[in-house]
Structure 1
Amino acid sequence: MIKWLLALPFAAFILFNAYVYGNIITYRAVAPHKTAFMSMRMSDFSAKGKEVELDYRWVPYDRISTNLKKALIASEDANFAAHGGFDWGGIRNAMKRNERSGKIRGGGSTISQQLAKNLFLNESRSYWRKAEEAAITAMMEATTDKDRIFELYLNVIEWGYGIYGAEAASQHFYKKPAANLTKQQAAKLAARVPRPLYYAENPRDRSLRNKTNIILRRMGSAALPDTE
């Protein structure tokens, strides 16, 4: 009995990662119906009595403005096109901040790591969850082209209450397709990504304007992944 109990966590880990791997292979050609993060967030809204409708609209990579692609790389992961899924310098800096604060505050996550969390995990902050995130990121980078990883990311990240993906965000904030976003609009959307619900409630926060301006300055040097 003790041996079985000890083996259960290991078996659960193997089964979960087999499930994840199968889905990663599927997502190379098929859009996710819904992500784990979406399900978690919508359930949380419901539990708190908030009536929030899910707005998730998938669009192909070429129907998303290059301005938004560059803005997100400038904001979230400047080395996305070159790294293998991990920004080791950013991870080391994040670990130092965690040690100083005595808490797991995250940080240093690449676009690939953020996508891994959104597709399969939740918002909990622990070294165990970060290890699982790393395993998923490695699987995804080993099996999926960079442009597909970025396409998935652009389509599933959160931009507000129930708003997921570039198309839903563009229609909600600017009443236009994601393909037609200007540089200013794209930079402002990218600035919202780290704290989408906070900025939904505080749209005039000065930090949103400041970060938008920083992203605008960095967009010119943002390197996109090569596409076939």
Structure 2
Amino acid sequence: MRYALYAFKQWLLLLLAGFVLLQLFFIGRVGFMAVVDPSSTAFERSQAWQIVSSQGRLLWRQTWMPSEQIAKPLKRAVLASEDSAFTSHNGVWWDAVEKAWSKNAKAQAKLEAQAAQKKNGKVAAPKIVGGSTITQQLAKNLLLSGERTLIRKGQEWVITVALESFLSKKKILTLYLNHVEWGNGVFGAEAAARHYFQKSASQLTEWEAARLAVMLPRPRYFEKLPQSVYLSDRAQTIMARMNDVAVP
């Protein structure tokens, strides 16, 4: 019995040591990004593998652009659409998280009510609303898998804190804009500008920037619907909000 207890304690210590080392690894990787820009993210590598597996070849568009060569309208549009409080929060925007939880709870309740009325029919799944900030989205895409678990969410929080501690807001936004997905195999602002408007990211107009910003939650979906009425209408809304956000 004593030996079993001793072995269990040793196992717990090893588990704890492994956890601490993993956190130090992630924090070290983030700190390194303060001086060296990452060439790829975990999400990009995962997508590259999926593209090669399904199509037999890698169709990829991505070009790193420094912050000064990314049009300010695109920065404003992305912030207005994805994270309007970016410059004022510490990585987690709790008001947005609370609103997302509330909307998702109402959507789930509506689904359950519909299901009760149509026991034998099909009911559309509710739209899940996210409350993640740009820093959280970057943390997830940089180093983590796409699975949705409490453990992964906790890990995302650790990386988010590290990003906000070691990097400036300007650096975080630059990393995000250079690695965010904008279509199937299309990553970063420069690739998106070339793919959709045949111009550099430095030359985007306010309307073009707003359309790209609206695509971000579902880029591969909207890539197939370039004439979407929702894209146009939502872009107008984003354009009206662009001058209300602060750009780092």
TM-score by length of 2: 0.83
Between the aligned residues of both structures, percent identity stands at: 37
Alignment of 1:120-139 (within 5 A): 120-139=143-162
- After TM superposition, what 4+ stretches of structure 1 lie above 6 angstroms from structure 2? none
Deviation at 1:34, TM superposition (A): 0.8
| Mapped contact 1:63–1:179 kept (Cα < 8 A) | yes
Deviation at 1:127, TM superposition (A): 2.1
Bigger shift: residues 3-12 or 29-38: 3-12
Which residue of 2 is the match for residue 15 of structure 1?
A: 21
Deviation at 1:16, TM superposition (A): 2.3
Which residue of 2 is the match for residue 147 of structure 1?
A: 170
Letter in 1 for 2:62: Y
Give me the whole-angstrom Cα distance separating, in 2, the residues matched to 1:212 and 1:15: 44
Deviation at 1:45, TM superposition (A): 2.5
Provide the aligned C-alpha RMSD in A: 2.1
Give me the whole-angstrom Cα distance separating, in 1, the residues matched to 2:129 and 2:234: 19
Deviation at 1:149, TM superposition (A): 0.7
Deviation at 1:216, TM superposition (A): 0.8
Bigger shift: residues 91-100 or 133-142: 91-100
Alignment of 1:167-178 (within 5 A): 167-178=190-201
Alignment of 1:90-129 (within 5 A): 90-99=96-105, 101=108, 105=128, 107-129=130-152
Which residue of 1 is the match for residue 70 of structure 2?
A: 64
Give the SS at the match of 1:159.
strand
Deviation at 1:106, TM superposition (A): 6.1
Give me the whole-angstrom Cα distance separating, in 1, the residues matched to 2:60 and 2:13: 38
| Mapped contact 2:51–2:185 kept (Cα < 8 A) | no
Cα 1:142/1:171, change in 2 over 3 Å: same
The equivalent position to 1:25 in structure 2, one of 13, 31, 45, is: 31
The equivalent position to 1:212 in structure 2, one of 235, 244, 247, is: 235
Bigger shift: residues 86-95 or 4-13: 4-13
| Mapped contact 1:36–1:118 kept (Cα < 8 A) | yes
Letter in 1 for 2:133: T
Cα 1:207/1:127, change in 2 over 3 Å: farther
TM-score by length of 1: 0.90
Q: How many residues align?
A: 225
Deviation at 1:20, TM superposition (A): 1.4
Gaps of 5+ in 2: 1-6, 110-125
Which residue of 2 is the match for residue 38 of structure 1?
A: 44
Q: Does 1:77 align with 2:77?
A: no
| Mapped contact 1:106–1:125 kept (Cα < 8 A) | no
| Mapped contact 1:52–1:161 kept (Cα < 8 A) | no
**Structure with the greater alpha carbon radius of gyration:** 2
Deviation at 1:33, TM superposition (A): 1.3
| Mapped contact 2:61–2:191 kept (Cα < 8 A) | yes
The equivalent position to 2:181 in structure 1, one of 143, 153, 158, is: 158
Gaps of 5+ in 1: none
Deviation at 1:213, TM superposition (A): 1.3
Deviation at 1:152, TM superposition (A): 0.7
Deviation at 1:99, TM superposition (A): 4.6
Cα 1:203/1:122, change in 2 over 3 Å: farther
